[in-house]
Amino acid sequence: MAAVRALVASRLRAASAFAPLHASTPRAALHGSAPRPGARVALVLSGCGVYDGTELHEASAVLVHLSRGGAEVQIFAPDIPQMHVVDHTKGQPSESETRNVLTESARIARGKITDLARLSAANHDAAIFPGGFGAAKNLLCCIAPVLAAKVLRGVEVTVGHEQEEGGRWPYAGTAEAIKALGAKHCVKGVTEAHVDQKNKVVTTPAFMCETELHHIHDGIGAMVKKVLELCRK
């Protein structure tokens, strides 16, 4: 289960419940290049692996599209223990293991990562939260779009369709959970993104849909494109 969401500018500051916001910290690019002149985007990870952390394909797609869009990216994760460690070959918890969310997320960031407690909204134009069960287990006890629904009353988000449709949308019930929080769920296809212009929140279904990987990649691309457009306004 996964979905991707982003907050832009003023709503990034309003959503400070996601993490304590402290003083400015130097931004570290994913690679060793100089800072880029584009939008400044914080990418918030929750581990490494779909069942107990960040969904890797989603995180990678976000980074690819941000790079293509000329964004300056800084990657964050909380310096806390994972809720548990899942053996991804079995889909079951590994009782004898413990791992740290920041340390595991550093695998995706190629080592260039900052403690989430040091994120300052003043230093970024937007924040993006890839999906994966780690968003529920290690961040705020819910999947990525539900983070927005819990923090921003009346926000509009999408997790795709509202019916399972023969298994194509196996997590369609999440839409009802979003509505129960007072948010509006907007039906979108997997290659689409929904923009809440008022709250400056952008979401896409991603792995909420059982489909081919390139469709997931395209949907995340649509989401990143909309985020960068909002950053330029």
- Domain count for the chain, please give it: 1
The yes-or-no verdict on residue 141 having pLDDT over 70 is no
Q: Is residue 34 part of a domain?
A: no
The alpha carbon of residue 63 and the mean position of all alpha carbons in its chain are separated, in whole angstroms, by 11
pLDDT bucket at 147, cuts 50 / 70 / 90: confident
Please state, in angstroms and as integers, the Cα–Cα distance from residue 72 to each residue in 12, 113, 155, following that order.
Answer: 16, 14, 27
Q: Is residue 92 part of a domain?
A: yes
The yes-or-no verdict on residue 19 having pLDDT over 50 is no
Q: Is residue 12 part of a domain?
A: no
Per-residue confidence (pLDDT) for residue 4, from 0 to 100: 59
pLDDT bucket at 27, cuts 50 / 70 / 90: very low
- Number of helical (H) and strand (E) elements in the chain, helices listed first: 7, 11
Render the burial of 10-40: b for 16+ CB within 10 Å, e for the rest: ebbeebeebbebeeeeebbebeeeeeeebbb
Per-residue confidence (pLDDT) for residue 23, from 0 to 100: 35
The pTM (predicted TM-score) of the whole model is: 0.84
Q: Is residue 69 part of a domain?
A: yes
Q: Is residue 31 part of a domain?
A: no
The range of the structural domain enclosing residue 138 comes to: 40-231
Q: Helix crossing, 56-68 with 213-232: angle to 10°?
A: 50
pLDDT bucket at 90, cuts 50 / 70 / 90: confident
Q: What is the mean pLDDT of residues 129-151?
A: 79
Is 142 annotated in the active site?
yes
Sign of the CA dihedral with 57 first, then 61, 62, and 67 last: positive
Q: Is residue 15 part of a domain?
A: no
CATH number, position 211 = 3.40.50.880
The yes-or-no verdict on residue 116 having pLDDT over 70 is yes
Q: Is residue 128 part of a domain?
A: yes
Output the DSSP codes for 17-64: GGS---S------SSSSPPPSS-EEEEE---SSTTTS--HHHHHHHHH
Q: How far is it, in rounded angstroms, from Cα 138 to Cα 49? A: 12
Sheet with 194-196: strands ordered across = 114-115, 72-77, 40-44, 126-129, 4-8, 201-204, 194-196
Q: Is residue 33 part of a domain?
A: no
Catalytic residue among 48, 141, 142, 186: 142
